[in-house]
C-alpha cells in the first residue's frame, strides 16, 4: 500500500482546494474516496480506490477513471438511477430531488468526519451524507442522517446507508449465504447484466440468512493476495438488502441499507433518522487484504474490547444439553481446569421455578435459578469455579419469552404480536420474542442483567443467545400508524439495552449467539466481545464455515469449539488432533462432556491447550493470510497468522478427503519477512508420534513464501500446526 502524508495535513489540503475544485478527497493511509460536492447540484461519486490527492484526481479524470454518478440517488429525479432513497411526502408526492447545500469536516480521535448536507429542491427534507475516514485503517464508514420539517410524517420506503460504484468489467462478487448449522457459505459469482441481491429477512438474527457483507473483486476471479478488491459491511443487526446493479451504463453500482419491505418507515417531523453505518474497505492486495483491513478495523475500532485476547472455555451445551445440575457442572469445571482451560460457561437449562426449563418449550423470561437442579444456586457454581481456579459464565436468551413463563403471565402484551392474529411460534413450538420497541421491556431486560451481575459480580461471561426470528409482525407498544417501524425499532431497542448494560459492565465478556451464527454482524459488534460461529461443530464442515466468517471477522471474535468424536450434528468421526487444530484458528473452546473422554484424549487436550496458549496472541491478534481454500477442491486447506512485526507466525494445514496418489500441493507462506530466517516448531503433536521433518528447521521467509515447502498430510483428517519464529 502506498503511504499517505498525515491525514490531518491531507485534510487541510482538501478543505482549501475543494472550494475551487469541488472535489472532496476522503482518504485513509492507502485509499481514497473522491466526491464532487458542488452547491446546488446533486452530490457525485467520482472515485474509490488507491490513495490519491486532488491533483491525482485530475489525472484520473484525464485517464477517464472518474465515475461521476449520483452518490445517493433518490427516487423521482428522471435520470432512472436505481434509488438509494425513496420517500412519500405527506402530500402524497413520491419524488425527491436532493442538492448539496454545504460541506463540513471535523477532526475526531483517530478519524476525520466529512458531512455533505443536502436538501430536497422543494420539500423541507434534509439528508446529511456522512463519511468517516480512519487514520490508521483503510476503512471508511458512510451513512446518512435524514430529517424533515413537513407538516406530518413522511414514509421512507428506501433509505440506504450508501452507494459505491465500480467500473464495469470482469468484476466478481463473493457473499456469505447460509442458514442454521451451515452459516457463512461463500458464494462467488461474476457480475452480469441485472441485479444481484443479498437479503436477510429473519427480523432478529440476520446471520441466519445471507450476510450483510459483500466482497467485490475488480480484476477478475477473487484472489487472496493480488488484485484490487472492495469489501462492504453493513453495521446493522436487523433486516437489510445489498444490491449490485449492472445496467447498460459502464458501472456496477452497490447499494446497501436497511430493508424496509413490506412497509416503509414512518418518520415524524423534526426527528433525525440515522441509517446504519456502511463500512467499506479497498485493497490492492486481493480479498485477503480487504479481510485484514476489516479485522484491523474490528479489533481497533468497532468491536467491544477488540484488542484483547479471549479465554479458553468449556461450554456445557453439547456435553449435557438441558441436563444441568450442580454435580455435573462441578465435574465439568474440574475437568476443564485440569486440561488448562480458563472459563466454564453453563448453557441453557439452569432456570425457571414455576416452569422448569427441561427442554426448549418453556421458561424463557424467568431468569431465576431452578433450585431443584442447583440447590446452592449460582453461589454453588461460583464456589466450584473458585475451587478450580477458573472463571464462570452463564447463558441467557434475554429477547425471548415462553408462553409457559411467569413473565408471560404478568405481561402477555410484552410479546410481539399482530392485532387480531394468533401467535406464530418459533423454537420448541412455543417461543415468542419480546417487543423490544417497548421501553418497559428494555428496562426489564437491563434490570434482569443488572440484578444478576450485581448479585454475582464474579460472573465473567454471558452467552447472549437469540434463537427466534420475528414471526409475529406487530408491536403492542407502537401506535397503529407505526407498526411497520417495528423492524427497525426492535434493533434500536436492542442497541439501547446493550449500551446501558455496557456502560455499567464494560469488563464482562459477552458472546453474541443467534441460534448458532445468526448474530454475527457488524451491528452488534460494539457491545459484544465475540460471536458463536455455528451450532455445527463438525471440524470438517467448520473449515468451510470458518473460512467464510474470516472474510470479515477477526479470529479473536470467533468462538470455535472442539466437540465429541462422533459429531452430534453430522455423525462424522474425526480425530481429536484435527478437531483441535481446526478450532485453534480462532478463539479456542471445548463443547464436549470431558468425562466421556479417555485419559489419552485428555492428555492430548492438555498439550493442545498449552500449545495454543503459547501462540494465542499470534492467532487472535495477528494478520491472517488464507493460503489454500477448502472451496478450491484440492482436499487441502491452509492458512496462517503473522504478527505486525513479522517476527512470529503460525501456519495451519489440513487434509480433508484423502484419495490415494492425489498430490498434496506445495505450500507457499505469505506475510513473512523475506529477508529473515524462521525457526519452525511443530505444535499439537500427539504423544508417541514423531513431528514432521520441518520441526526444528530454519528456513528463510523468501523460500517459505516464494519456493514453498512440503507438508506431510498423508491420510484423511491429517493436520499440521507450525509455529514460525524469526531468528
Give the C-alpha separation, 265 to 275, whole Å.
12
Query: Hey, is 365 helix, strand or coil?
Result: coil
Residue in 535, 538, 581, 611 annotated catalytic: 535
Answer whether 720's CB lies under 8 Å from 682's CB: yes
Tell me whether residue 257 or residue 516 sits nearer to ligand DGJ (CB atom): 516
Answer whether 57's CB lies under 8 Å from 64's CB: no
Q: How far is the CB of 516 from ligand DGJ (least distance, A)?
A: 5
231 touches ligand DGJ (CB under 6 A): no
Tell me whether residue 98 or residue 433 sits nearer to ligand DGJ (CB atom): 433
Give the C-alpha separation, 465 to 528, whole Å.
12
Answer whether 265's CB lies under 8 Å from 159's CB: yes
Binding mask 421-460 for ligand DGJ (x = CB under 6 A): ----------------------------------------
Residues 6+ apart with CB under 8 A from 461: 311, 313, 343, 345, 391, 392, 393, 394, 508, 509, 510, 511
Give the C-alpha separation, 300 to 297, whole Å.
5
Query: Hey, is 294 helix, strand or coil?
Result: helix
**Segment contacting ligand DGJ (CB under 6 A): 94-102, 161-169, 296-304, 508-516?**
508-516
348 touches ligand DGJ (CB under 6 A): yes
Tell me whether residue 348 or residue 530 sits nearer to ligand DGJ (CB atom): 348
Q: Among 392, 395, 654, 722, which residue sits at the site for ligand DGJ (rule: CB under 6 A)? A: 395
468 touches ligand DGJ (CB under 6 A): no
Hey, which bits of 237-354 come out as E strands?
A: 240-246, 251-258, 265-267, 273-274, 278-283, 313-315, 343-346
Give the C-alpha separation, 291 to 638, whole Å.
16
Instruction: Of 156, 235, 162, 243, give the one whose Cα is nearest residue 199.
Output: 243
Within a 10 A sphere around the Cβ of 124, how many other Cβ atoms?
A: 13
**Segment contacting ligand DGJ (CB under 6 A): 206-214, 248-256, 510-518, 661-669?**
510-518
Q: How far is the CB of 591 from ligand DGJ (least distance, A)?
A: 8
Radius of gyration of the chain from its Cα atoms, rounded to whole angstroms:
26
Q: How far is the CB of 100 from ligand DGJ (least distance, A)?
A: 47
Q: Among 257, 426, 476, 515, which residue sits at the site for ligand DGJ (rule: CB under 6 A)? A: 515
Residues 646-685 contacting ligand DGJ, CB under 6 A = none
Give the C-alpha separation, 541 to 586, whole Å.
15
Q: How far is the CB of 346 from ligand DGJ (least distance, A)?
A: 10
Pairing of strands 111-120, 265-267: unpaired
Binding mask 260-299 for ligand DGJ (x = CB under 6 A): ----------------------------------------
516 touches ligand DGJ (CB under 6 A): yes
Binding footprint of ligand DGJ, residue count (CB under 6 A): 11
467 touches ligand DGJ (CB under 6 A): yes
Give the C-alpha separation, 356 to 649, whole Å.
49
Q: Among 477, 522, 532, 540, which residue sits at the site for ligand DGJ (rule: CB under 6 A)? A: 532
Tell me whether residue 114 or residue 557 sits nearer to ligand DGJ (CB atom): 557
**Segment contacting ligand DGJ (CB under 6 A): 190-198, 269-277, 327-335, 509-517?**
509-517
Element (H, E) at 651: strand 648-655
Give the C-alpha separation, 634 to 631, whole Å.
8
Give the C-alpha separation, 192 to 169, whole Å.
9
**Segment contacting ligand DGJ (CB under 6 A): 296-304, 328-336, 444-452, 512-520?**
512-520
317 touches ligand DGJ (CB under 6 A): yes
Tell me whether residue 41 or residue 564 sits nearer to ligand DGJ (CB atom): 564
513 touches ligand DGJ (CB under 6 A): yes
Residues 152-181 contacting ligand DGJ, CB under 6 A = none
Q: How far is the CB of 399 from ligand DGJ (least distance, A)?
A: 13
Residue in 160, 239, 335, 465 annotated catalytic: 465
563 touches ligand DGJ (CB under 6 A): no
Q: How far is the CB of 466 from ligand DGJ (least distance, A)?
A: 9
Give the C-alpha separation, 640 to 629, whole Å.
12
Answer whether 183's CB lies under 8 Å from 65's CB: no
Instruction: Of 618, 315, 320, give the one whose Cα is nearest residue 462.
Output: 315
Q: How far is the CB of 532 from ligand DGJ (least distance, A)?
A: 6
**Segment contacting ligand DGJ (CB under 6 A): 380-388, 511-519, 620-628, 697-705?**
511-519
The three state secondary structure string of 438-489 is CHHHHHHHHHHHHHHHHHCCCEEEEEECCCCCCCCCCCCCCCHHHHHHHHHH
Phi, psi of 482, deg, nearest 5: -120, 15
Q: Among 120, 311, 465, 538, which residue sits at the site for ligand DGJ (rule: CB under 6 A)? A: 465
Tell me whether residue 208 or residue 555 sits nearer to ligand DGJ (CB atom): 208
Q: Is-catalytic flag, 538?
A: no
Tell me whether residue 498 or residue 512 sits nearer to ligand DGJ (CB atom): 512
Q: Is-catalytic flag, 128?
A: no
Q: Among 241, 335, 435, 535, which residue sits at the site for ligand DGJ (rule: CB under 6 A)? A: 535
Q: Give catalytic residues, as residue numbers.
A: 465, 535
- Contact set with ligand DGJ (CB under 6 A): 317, 347-348, 395, 465, 467, 513, 515-516, 532, 535
Amino acid at each position: 500500500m502506498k503511504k499517505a502524508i498525515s491525514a490531518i495535513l491531507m485534510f487541510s489540503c482538501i478543505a482549501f482546494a475543494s472550494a475551487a475544485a469541488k472535489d472532496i478527497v476522503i482518504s485513509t493511509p492507502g485509499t481514497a474516496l473522491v466526491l464532487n460536492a458542488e452547491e446546488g447540484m446533486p452530490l457525485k461519486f467520482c472515485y474509490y480506490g488507491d490513495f490519491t490527492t486532488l491533483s491525482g484526481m485530475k489525472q484520473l479524470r484525464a485517464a477517464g477513471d472518474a465515475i461521476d454518478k449520483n452518490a445517493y440517488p433518490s427516487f423521482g429525479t428522471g435520470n432512472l438511477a436505481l434509488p438509494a432513497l425513496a420517500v412519500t411526502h405527506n402530500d402524497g408526492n413520491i419524488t425527491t430531488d436532493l442538492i448539496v447545500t454545504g460541506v463540513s469536516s471535523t477532526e475526531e480521535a483517530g478519524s476525520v468526519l466529512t458531512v455533505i448536507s443536502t436538501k430536497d429542491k422543494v420539500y423541507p427534507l434534509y439528508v446529511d451524507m456522512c463519511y468517516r475516514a480512519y487514520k490508521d485503517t483503510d476503512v471508511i464508514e458512510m451513512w446518512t442522517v435524514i430529517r424533515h420539517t413537513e407538516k406530518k410524517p413522511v414514509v421512507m420506503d428506501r433509505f440506504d446507508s450508501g452507494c459505491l460504484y465500480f467500473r464495469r468489467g470482469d468484476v466478481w462478487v463473493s457473499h456469505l449465504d447460509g442458514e442454521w448449522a451451515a452459516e457463512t457459505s461463500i458464494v462467488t459469482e461474476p457480475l452480469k447484466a441485472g441485479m444481484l441481491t443479498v437479503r436477510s429477512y429473519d427480523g432478529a438474527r440476520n446471520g441466519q440468512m445471507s450476510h450483510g457483507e459483500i466482497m467485490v473483486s475488480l480484476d477478475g476471479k477473487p484472489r487472496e493476495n493480488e488484485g484490487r478488491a472492495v469489501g462492504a459491511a453493513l453495521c446493522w443487526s436487523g433486516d437489510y438488502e445489498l444490491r449490485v446493479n449492472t445496467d447498460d451504463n459502464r458501472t456496477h453500482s452497490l447499494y446497501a441499507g436497511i430493508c424496509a419491505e413490506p412497509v416503509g418507515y414512518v418518520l415524524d417531523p423534526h426527528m433525525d433518522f440515522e441509517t446504519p453505518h456502511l463500512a467499506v474497505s479497498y485493497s490492492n492486495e486481493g480479498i485477503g487484504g480487504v479481510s485484514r483491513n476489516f479485522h484491523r478495523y474490528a479489533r481497533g475500532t468497532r468491536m467491544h474490547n477488540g484488542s484483547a485476547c479471549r479465554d479458553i472455555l468449556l461450554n456445557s451445551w453439547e456435553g449435557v444439553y438441558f441436563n444441568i445440575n450442580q454435580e455435573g457442572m462441578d465435574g465439568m469445571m474440574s475437568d476443564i481446569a485440569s486440561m488448562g482451560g480458563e472459563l466454564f460457561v453453563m448453557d441453557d437449562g439452569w432456570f425457571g421455578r414455576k416452569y422448569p426449563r427441561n427442554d426448549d418449550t418453556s421458561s424463557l423470561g424467568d431468569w431465576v435459578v431452578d433450585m431443584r437442579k442447583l440447590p446452592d444456586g449460582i453461589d454453588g457454581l461460583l464456589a466450584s469455579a473458585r475451587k478450580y481456579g477458573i472463571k464462570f459464565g452463564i447463558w441467557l436468551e434475554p429477547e425471548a419469552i415462553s408462553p409457559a413463563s411467569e413473565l408471560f403471565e404478568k405481561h402477555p402484551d410484552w410479546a410481539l404480536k399482530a392485532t387480531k392474529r394468533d401467535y406464530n411460534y418459533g423454537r420448541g413450538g412455543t417461543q415468542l420474542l419480546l417487543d423490544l420497541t417497548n421501553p418497559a421491556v428494555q428496562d426489564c431486560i437491563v434490570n434482569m442483567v443488572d440484578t444478576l451481575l450485581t448479585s454475582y459480580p464474579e460472573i465473567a461471561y454471558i452467552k447472549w443467545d437469540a434463537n427466534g426470528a420475528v414471526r409475529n409482525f406487530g408491536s403492542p407498544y407502537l401506535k397503529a400508524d407505526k407498526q411497520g417501524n417495528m423492524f427497525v425499532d426492535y434493533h434500536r431497542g436492542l442497541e439501547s439495552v446493550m449500551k446501558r448494560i455496557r456502560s455499567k459492565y464494560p469488563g464482562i465478556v459477552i458472546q453474541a449467539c443467534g441460534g448458532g451464527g445468526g448474530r454475527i454482524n457488524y451491528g452488534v459488534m460494539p457491545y459484544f466481545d465475540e460471536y458463536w460461529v455455528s451450532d455445527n461443530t463438525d471440524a470438517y464442515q467448520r473449515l468451510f464455515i470458518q473460512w467464510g466468517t474470516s472474510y470479515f471477522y477477526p479470529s479473536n471474535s470467533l468462538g470455535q469449539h472442539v466437540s465429541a468424536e462422533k459429531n452430534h450434528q453430522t455423525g462424522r468421526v474425526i480425530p481429536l488432533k484435527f478437531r483441535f487444530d481446526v478450532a485453534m484458528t480462532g478463539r479456542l473452546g471445548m463443547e464436549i462432556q470431558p468425562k466421556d473422554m479417555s485419559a489419552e484424549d485428555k492428555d492430548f487436550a492438555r498439550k493442545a491447550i498449552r500449545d495454543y496458549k503459547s501462540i494465542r496472541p499470534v492467532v487472535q491478534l495477528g494478520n491472517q493470510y488464507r493460503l489454500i481454500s477448502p472451496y478450491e477442491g484440492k482436499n487441502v486447506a491452509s492458512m496462517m497468522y503473522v504478527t505486525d512485526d513479522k517476527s512470529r507466525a503460525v501456519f495451519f494445514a489440513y487434509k480433508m478427503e484423502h484419495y490415494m496418489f492425489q498430490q498434496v500441493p506445495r505450500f507457499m507462506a505469505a506475510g513473512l519477512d523475506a529477508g529473515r530466517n524462521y525457526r519452525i516448531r511443530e505444535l499439537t503433536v500427539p504423544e508417541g508420534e514423531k513431528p514432521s521433518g520441518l520441526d526444528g528447521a530454519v528456513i528463510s521467509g523468501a523460500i517459505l513464501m516464494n519456493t514453498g515447502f512440503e507438508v506431510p498430510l498423508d491420510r484423511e483428517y491429517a493436520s499440521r500446526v507450525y509455529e514460525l519464529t524469526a531468528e
